[in-house]
A = this chain, B = another copy of it.
């Protein structure tokens, strides 16, 4: 495959603060020949996820991306050539790839390469029916354990995971309050995403709004943002509350290992006999099939809607990840590179 040109974005430096375009370096190269056990994947849709900020900075649940190497990303792609048993040309696959036209992979490790059914929509598989939707599903149901009539608050509510989390809580009979930035997102939350109320953190006093919207306290909080909003919620939890820690996008741009706004109100967990729990969706892999089946059914019934924000062209990858960290994305942030053959 040496004749194929591979355009790539390399990680040029560890970001400080918000990710910048200069943290990446453009590079063009060829594609090396495959070894046994490898396959060549043409990337079709790149997924943009807050966890990438961690990969860029430091060892987390997986090692940091080495400097000078291709920027790591989850993607849906299509097999161009395979020397890996079980995978053949034109298979649609999903897993860990990178910001590049083509990825050579053995398909192993965390986010190992999974085959998608023929005809799968790469955009759908990269959003509500992918890890994004699965994260919302397990975070909400297995960690949050919402019960009918409970008050469920979600931050990043117009984002990829948050929007699905809120819709699932609604299906389970909760009163759902979404927190998002800006009037457009908040209007979408109450008019289309099924939220009972929305709080605009950019223009409202979030603490006051939470007190008003949740007079009996917050039973479940699905946290995508961390920082001050997490702390304001902790100050307003109900007895027996569950705080689901999914992400902390407000904190990812802080220097490594430091949280600028740690949860001062954590001791309410004692006063309210409550818990705060983190999770990694990967640990629920054995339950993905049931989750996908539920999500598909809810999509078909219109109870879950898929909101995606699709950018185009590999050149725009750095600008696209920045959208995530400045809250410009509305729904799941994706970058479409190509259609399947």
- Interface residue ranges, A against B (CB under 8 Å): 60-61, 226, 245-248, 251, 257-259, 262-280, 283
- Bound: A266/B251 CA distance, A: 12
- Bound: A275/B258 CA distance, A: 19
Query: Which partner residue on chain B sits nearest A277 by CB separation?
Result: B275
Are B280 and A270 in contact, with the CB atoms below 8 A? yes
Are B276 and A269 in contact, with the CB atoms below 8 A? yes
Are A266 and B262 in contact, with the CB atoms below 8 A? yes
Copies of the chain in the assembly: 2
- Bound: A246/B275 CA distance, A: 12
- Bound: A259/B278 CA distance, A: 22
Are A266 and B266 in contact, with the CB atoms below 8 A? yes
- Bound: A267/B61 CA distance, A: 12
- Bound: A268/B275 CA distance, A: 15
Are A259 and B267 in contact, with the CB atoms below 8 A? yes
CB neighbours of A257 from chain B (8 A): 265
- Bound: A190/B267 CA distance, A: 30
- Least CB distance, A269 to chain B, in whole angstroms: 4
Are A277 and B274 in contact, with the CB atoms below 8 A? yes
Are B263 and A270 in contact, with the CB atoms below 8 A? no
Given A61-B271, A245-B266, A270-B278, 5 more contacts at CB 8 Å?
A245-B270, A259-B266, A262-B264, A269-B276, A271-B280
Among B60, B264, B272, B283, which residue has its beta carbon within 8 angstroms of that of A273? B283
Given contacts A247-B270, A271-B60, contact A277 B280 (CB under 8 A): no
Point out which of A226, A268, A273 has the most chain B C-beta atoms below 10 A from its C-beta: A273
